[in-house]
């Protein structure tokens, strides 16, 4: 164990976590050192549920993200490829709307 602190977990990195993480990764997400994380577990005050699997702690990523206030994965709009036609041409949308109103 080195005395150097790890960098905090970034938002993009948090969204790419596996189904469960080790205690060090969870500690990084909360911006605390692993020793503090172990102490919080012993006190029963770790910010999210912790599973004991064999001799190791695992934290389900869903609980970790929820504790961090991340309820949903963001949806990023990706522009269509230049060669792909749009699904519905804009002028057709207005034509259908005016037909319904008439």
> Helix or strand or coil: residue 36?
helix
Token pair in block for residue 52:
């004991």
Please state the rounded mean pLDDT for residues 50-63: 94
Alpha-carbon Rg for the chain, nearest whole angstrom, is 23
Please state the rounded mean pLDDT for residues 63-91: 68
- Is pLDDT of 25 > 90? yes
Min mean pLDDT across 19-33, 35-49, 63-77, 84-98 is at: 84-98
The residue among 8, 9, 11 whose CA lies nearest residue 70 is 11
Per-domain boundaries in the chain: 1-73
Token pair in block for residue 64:
């970790």
pLDDT confidence bin for 3, thresholds 50/70/90: very low
CA–CA gap between residue 57 and residue 48 (Å, rounded): 12
Please state the rounded mean pLDDT for residues 65-79: 74
> Helix or strand or coil: residue 59?
strand
């Amino acid at each position: 164990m080195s005395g150097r602190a790890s960098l905090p977990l970034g938002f993009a990195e948090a969204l790419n976590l596996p189904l469960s993480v080790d205690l060090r990764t969870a500690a990084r997400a909360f911006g605390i050192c692993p020793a503090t994380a172990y102490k919080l577990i012993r006190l029963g005050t770790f910010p999210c549920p912790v599973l004991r699997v064999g001799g190791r702690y695992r934290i389900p990523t869903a609980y970790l993200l929820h504790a961090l206030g991340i309820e949903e994965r963001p949806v990023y709009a990706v522009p269509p490829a230049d060669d792909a036609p749009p699904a519905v041409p804009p002028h057709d949308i207005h034509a259908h709307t005016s037909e319904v109103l008439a």
